[in-house]
Structure 1
């Protein structure tokens, strides 16, 4: 496929990333090989010196993985992408690529529980501190949380499970004033519904395990480099000073606007090793081929289910960004014009015990620790995905004790609504 950027997103989903030559396999092959054959030692030496493109070892790069990376990079509009073993590894490496012992980040408080724990506990052991801010805080309040050692600002396009919509304009202004990259987790929105790079972000990450796969088959994560940050601004010596492990190469000088993604690959992926397997990359790429179709259906079904639940006598409240009652409705209209994805939350009258009974009553929707599947699923975050957080931290993340999160699938919406209606009517 020619230059991906010349095509609309639906076409990139189907055909982006893989460009077979005459006589080659039309469908992306699984290159299930750890290593690659060369004829000349100098060719391999050039690879190790980062002077030539090619694959030397599948921990660092692989043809199947590379095709998937290029597809997602094309969808996000970046200069390069790095596929990883999970969404958590994508979050971790996105930060470790710019932070070291003694550095600091500012992050929205309404983060996925695993990311919150990574930032508040694990990164602290690496000497990286974090300040969590209410995303509704003013630009001045967020800016005042930044210090001389702040090295990144982090947020999620759609908070999980609070479902607040990130104010890109506000956060990107703070990042620019501070002189640090703005990193955005775009998992719930996907590159079909939102492109953070167009709204001031510098780095975009995804848990490809979710909607990009779409079928609950494969773990994966990805980092996309926007190529729009100045790594020579004096705050990032690892990008401007010689890397002795590569004979003194200087990333910002040698790789220019792709310095971030190259460094993440050849330093962190090389040394820590959370690579995507070729088979998983094949399945993730296959899932991405229908991303545009599925996200339209997920978004449509979620809105219709939300509208139904808002009127149900057994429901206290409903939370979905494109409901006019939602606090982020105007931001959703601004940043998510094609739809607000397939996640909604609500509270059942009767509290936590009624919520548990409701889940037991469901027939079509199932209880799983996952989201973004083609099938409708539910979970109770306070007792599962966010149970490691204390009550104050849960509330800061948008999690209440009665909250039920629904990942609305692509089944017939009439069947989904019927299942929820019958489950609610069975409550005392």
Structure 2
């Protein structure tokens, strides 16, 4: 135990040192002030699109980006660039670049994922939409952009030809976009307004990807590798951290269920089939151990019967992040009917809910306890741990969720 104490104290000293160093750095960032730092649509997609469209420097910024996304030696006459590009019945493409060459054309489709989940056949639907617009398979480039370079889910690419799946370009903010922004800073060095904006955006990306903590991580790594006992302890701590995450997530669900049961005059459903499972200790344990069937659980409240449609439910659920929304389960037990139904469509759109086959409308929770960031249970970083282990902070977090749900139910006139 004494060795563990010394080991942890050494790591704590390194952490405190970097907290002091970081406290002296300039923290003002216009992006953090004006938008949620993780808002992939209204911040990241729009900002990247506007950079590429800049009338003075856009062409050079595009030339710097193309090698990163695997499109080289392209001599184009003009390009049209869009964010949130609507494709009929197939959703919205985050970023799209349509190149017009001398005797041909090319389209680059960029799916931008910060914390949002993949939708069913999402990349397949975008690919098919480009085919319907007249592009040949060899003229379509699919790019999948995430914080750390994750691959698209099987659901997202289901139905794509194998050759297309193999050629999806996977890039990350952490490595590729930060490197691109650094190149753009050099290009705009003589233009203070653009240069300083890019510097602030680079700073934001380093913050949300954790790239700015590399030096601290390196120092901790060196300490662990310097002592065999420390290395053994680090491996054992991995199991301890998993157990902490499991216990704290269970604590969260139990507290939220207690709170909602007291405030909602709705029936809690606990025995519905997948993907509408009630949370359980077993499911939460699997969530952190990589087992199959380890997501899409939560709380399900029956709201009312809808004539000739089925049953309407309020659903709070976790995939990686916590989100909630409204779902119809039809009389056959299927929940894949929601996108076909126009019930509450306009109201939910006005409230900024997203509509899918499985949801009339869904949206992520944000929390002031977490500086208005997503509630990410998969990562469950130290900030969220500090909220969940503190009963007063957990009370405030669950109260925020309760208030948001009650507000939306009231607006939609769904409270009894």
TM-score, normalised relative to structure 1: 0.33
Q: Greater Rg, structure 1 or structure 2?
A: 2
More helix by share: 2
More strand by share: 2
TM-score, normalised relative to structure 2: 0.34
